[in-house]
Structures are given as structure tokens and as C-alpha cells.
Amino acid sequence: MNANTEWKPALAELVGTFLLVFIGAGAGALAGAPPAGNGGGIVSVALAHGIALLVIVYAFGIISGAHVNPARTLGPAVVTGDLSYLWIYIVGPAVGAVAAALLYHQVFLPMLAPAPQPLTRKQRRS
């Protein structure tokens, strides 16, 4: 790998981790969404993670190996002593996960959070 091609696996890891975190967290949020029982439960969360990971591996496996988890790369790299290109598998997933969390915060939290209630006169006086 040279400097001109390092961005491809980094971008693949970023997008793969983004998809896994966003889809997984979204499924988890919707599984517990009111009214109770309409979210699909733990099976839908597990299926969302599994199907997302299946698509990620098929789409990005040829580019970067589709690690989408820095621990999956860090362990073998430390054991073998080969830390070259390790930054790709740490920075890409970290940026992807943060981006997914920020988008999740904008998309799902307003749906799930209860609407703020106006203060009553009694509450405003005290």
C-alpha cells in the first residue's frame, strides 16, 4: 500500500463503521420505542446488526478487510509487531462511529425524547 491508496481502506472502514453503528443503534432505539411491542424487540436488533455486517463485509471486504472494529486489528497487530497501516483501522472506524452517533442524535433522539412540558405558574414562582 502506498500513500495514494491508503485513503481507500480508511474510507471503507469509516463508511462501514458508520453504517454498522447507525443501523445498529437505530434498530436498538426503535426496538424500545413506545408504544411497547411495536419496535420488534431484541431479535430485530440482532438481525439489523447481522444484516448490516453482512452487507459491509461483502461491500468493503475487498477494499480493507472490513474490520469495522479497531480491536479486531489492534490485537493481531500488537502480537505480530506489525503496526504499519494501523492508523487506517483506528482512525477510520473512530471517525465513522462519531459521525454515526452525531447523525443518530439528530434523527432518532428527537423522535424518542418526550416533548418538553411548559412550566405552570406555580413552578415559575418557586
Query: 70: how many CB neighbours lie within 10 A of its CB?
Result: 19
- Whole-model pTM: value is 0.79
- What DSSP state is assigned to residue 115? P
* Tens digits of residue pLDDT in 76-120: 999 999 988 899 999 999 999 999 999 988 887 776 666 667 777
- What DSSP state is assigned to residue 36? T
* Tens digits of residue pLDDT in 53-76: 999 999 999 999 998 888 889 999
What are the chain's domains?
7-125 (1.20.1080.10)
pLDDT at 44 over 70: yes
Q: What gap in Å lies between CA 18 and CA 75, rounded to an integer?
A: 22
Least confident range of 23-32, 37-46, 88-97: 37-46
59 Cβ partners below 8 Å, 6+ apart?
16, 66
Please return the burial class of 71, using the count of CB atoms within 10 Å of its CB with bins 0-12, 13-18 and 19+: exposed
pLDDT of residue 43: 86
pLDDT at 37 over 60: no
